[in-house]
């Protein structure tokens, strides 16, 4: 750290919906860090981000921010295809990195990142798979590992978005959305992915014309646990992410609606989220705080690392193939190098 005060100076690259959220989070909620640099090509977003983070300097590129020694660490919140051009100079400058998911959109580019990172003394990249910081996901993982209800047999997931932007394509059902399940389900079950299959139920006529959805994704894990995920992005009513674990002698469920309960007009209702920003707000806070603390104490990474991102990239490749092929597509997951132990 080259900070003049005790705070970690964080640069944020990409100040769109997620980057702007992280800028506010660091400015208002996180302790031990300030936003010192913002790289955002869109002038309106750059101005809004600067207003939210007094004292942060604007830069045209990550390279310029590095040359000006304006940051100790970086959060990458550009769209997935624009992660690699930021990751490489950041690694070159030995900056600790919190990179939003996915690491990169395909396994070949993820491998390039792994190769570059392994030239450093230790992992520098933490990945933004925030579900690992969600209290409910953590409790579920603990329960499964504890074995009180016997062995885990199945995991059943629902992942429902109210709608998606015009830029969202068919393959993004996998690479932008199911990408989370490709990380969190193996993490819950303690076993890597063996294959991915996609089934198409009846199409939702309210979906954008370019999308054939919802989809049902079947994920087989190496330990025999079968995972099914309903991926559904035009549900309109709200944002819902839930998981049910089927164990030998019990069922565990997370992601149920919580909060305001209401009785009126002879009916009962309960508030539902409309965006991941509120559903996972506490998880994002915990994730960023854990990362800041890890950078400050020198451990640099306190969550999923680039190897986890590579495994997910392999699963995404299989998932994208499975959108067009019938039957399970195998995932060849390589052995984790000692560097990422």
Ligand X SMILES: O[C@H]1[C@H](O)[C@@H](O)[C@H](O)[C@@H](O)[C@H]1O
Ligand Y SMILES: NC(=O)c1ccc[n+]([C@@H]2O[C@H](COP(=O)([O-])OP(=O)(O)OC[C@H]3O[C@@H](n4cnc5c(N)ncnc54)[C@H](O)[C@@H]3O)[C@@H](O)[C@H]2O)c1
* Strand ranges, E, within 145-273: 152-160, 193-199, 215-221, 226-232, 240-247, 250-254, 261-264, 267-270
Residue 273 touching ligand Y (CB under 6 A)? no
Residue 309 touching ligand Y (CB under 6 A)? no
Q: Where do runs of H (alpha helix) occur along 1-53?
A: 17-28, 43-52
Residue 276 touching ligand X (CB under 6 A)? yes
Q: C-beta of 90: minimal distance to ligand X in Å?
A: 21
Answer for the pair 35, 12: CB distance below 8 angstroms, yes or no.
Answer: yes
- CA–CA separation, 20 vs 268, rounded Å? 36
Q: C-beta of 86: minimal distance to ligand Y in Å?
A: 6
Token couple for 219: 């994920």
Quick count: other Cβ atoms within 10 Å of Cβ 335? 5
Query: Total residues at the site for ligand X (CB under 6 A)?
Result: 6
The single residue among 45, 156, 282, 321 that binds ligand Y, judged by CB under 6 A, is 45
Q: Which does 42 bind (CB under 5 to 8 A by kind): ligand X, ligand Y, none?
A: ligand Y
Binding mask of the shown chain, residues 120 to 149, with x at each position contacting ligand Y by CB under 6 A: --------x-x-------------------
Token couple for 41: 């090509």
- CA–CA separation, 50 vs 33, rounded Å? 16
Answer for the pair 340, 307: CB distance below 8 angstroms, yes or no.
Answer: yes
Binding mask of the shown chain, residues 1 to 40, with x at each position contacting ligand Y by CB under 6 A: ------------xxxxxxx-------------------xx
Quick count: other Cβ atoms within 10 Å of Cβ 135? 11
Residue 176 touching ligand X (CB under 6 A)? yes
Residue placing its CB nearer to ligand Y in the complex, 152 or 283: 283
The single residue among 161, 175, 243, 305 that binds ligand X, judged by CB under 6 A, is 161
Token couple for 286: 């915990």
Residue 183 touching ligand X (CB under 6 A)? no
The single residue among 63, 82, 154, 195 that binds ligand Y, judged by CB under 6 A, is 82
Residue placing its CB nearer to ligand X in the complex, 13 or 71: 13
Angle at which helices 306-322 and 179-189 pack, to 10 degrees?
Answer: 120
- CA–CA separation, 256 vs 248, rounded Å? 22
Residue placing its CB nearer to ligand Y in the complex, 143 or 233: 233
Q: Using CB under 6 A, list all residues that contact ligand Y.
A: 13-19, 39-42, 45, 77-80, 82, 100-101, 128, 130, 176, 276
């Amino acid at each position: 750290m080259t900070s003049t005060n005790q705070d970690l100076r964080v640069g944020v690259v990409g100040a769109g919906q997620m980057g702007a959220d992280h800028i506010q989070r660091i400015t208002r909620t996180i302790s031990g860090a300030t936003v010192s640099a913002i790289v955002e090509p869109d002038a309106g977003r750059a101005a809004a981000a600067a207003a939210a983070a007094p004292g942060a300097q604007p830069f045209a590129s990550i390279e310029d921010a590095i040359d000006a020694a304006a940051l100790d660490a970086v959060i990458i919140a550009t769209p997935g295809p624009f992660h690699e051009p930021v990751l490489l100079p950041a690694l070159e400058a030995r900056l600790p990195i919190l990179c939003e998911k996915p690491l990169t959109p395909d396994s070949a580019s993820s491998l390039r990142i792994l190769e570059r990172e392994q030239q450093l003394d230790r992992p520098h990249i933490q990945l933004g798979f925030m579900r690992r910081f969600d209290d409910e996901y953590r409790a579920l993982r603990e329960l499964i590992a504890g074995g009180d209800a016997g062995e885990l047999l199945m995991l059943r997931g629902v992942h429902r978005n109210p709608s998606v932007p015009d830029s969202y394509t068919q393959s993004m059902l996998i690479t932008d959305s199911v990408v989370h399940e490709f990380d969190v389900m193996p993490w819950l079950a303690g076993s890597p992915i063996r294959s991915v299959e996609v089934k198409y139920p009846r199409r939702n006529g309210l979906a954008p014309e370019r999308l054939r959805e919802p989809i049902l994704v079947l994920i087989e894990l190496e330990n025999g646990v079968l995972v099914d995920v309903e991926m559904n992005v035009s549900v309109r009513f709200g944002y819902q992410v839930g998981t049910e674990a089927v164990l030998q002698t019990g069922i565990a469920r997370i992601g149920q609606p919580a909060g305001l309960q209401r009785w009126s007009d002879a009916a009962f209702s309960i508030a539902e989220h409309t965006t991941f920003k509120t559903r996972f707000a506490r998880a994002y806070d915990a994730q960023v705080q854990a990362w800041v603390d890890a950078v400050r104490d020198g451990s640099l990474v306190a969550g999923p690392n680039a190897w986890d991102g590579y495994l997910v990239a392999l699963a995404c490749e299989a998932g994208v193939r499975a959108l067009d092929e019938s039957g399970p597509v195998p995932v060849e997951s390589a052995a984790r190098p000692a560097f990422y132990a």
